[in-house]
Structure formats: C-alpha cells, structure tokens
Amino acid sequence: MQNRRLKILFPIIIFILLIPFIAMQFTDEVNWTAADFIVAGGLLFGAGLISEIVIKKTKNRKHKMVLLGAIFIILILIWIELAVGIFGTPFSGN
C-alpha cells in the first residue's frame, strides 16, 4: 500500500507544477524560474514523504489527522511566504 501511494505522489506533484508552467505560456503575471519549480517540487515532495511517514507510523486516527493537517498548514504557510512574504522574512518573493 505504501509503494502505491508513493507512485501516486509523483504524478500529483507534476500536475501541480504544470499549473504555473501552463499559466506562464498565457500570461506575464506568472513568472517562475527553474529555481521556483525546484523549490516548489521539493516542498511538495517533502510534504508528501512526511505525510507518508505519518500515515505509516501513526496508529491513532485522530493523531494522524491532526499531524496531516499540521503538515498541510505548514506547507501552505511556507508556500505563501515564498510567494508574497506574509511574515517579512528575507526569503519572501515580494
């Protein structure tokens, strides 16, 4: 079961990364560099692997859901910070 989820992870990441790639072809509002795609892919892949570990190792359903929710929230916050800089770190995209 674990290997099947990992095999599904790669096409999902590629699909998510295709969205800005395709948008770049039609508008100047989306302007990603190769580094942006690498960082985004790394974030998505890392979150997917950590989620897989949580799913595999955690037995309690409530704990599993809380941990997966925390992983998702952290992923979104990092993504937003890199994109527009809501926290004002030197890594912000703004």
User: Total domain count for the chain?
Assistant: 1
Residue with tokens 């674990």: 2
In a domain, 18, yes or no: yes
Instruction: Read off the pTM.
Output: 0.86
In a domain, 50, yes or no: yes
Q: Which domain holds residue 58?
A: 2-84
Q: What is the mean pLDDT of the chain?
A: 91
In a domain, 53, yes or no: yes
In a domain, 76, yes or no: yes
Query: What's residue 61's pLDDT?
Result: 96
In a domain, 32, yes or no: yes
Encoded tokens for 19: 């969205």
Encoded tokens for 86: 């809501």
CA distances from 82 to 7, 68, 75, 78 (A): 27, 21, 11, 6
In a domain, 91, yes or no: no
| pLDDT, tens digit (0-9, with 9 covering 90-100), for 25-59 | 999 998 999 999 999 999 999 999 999 999 999 99
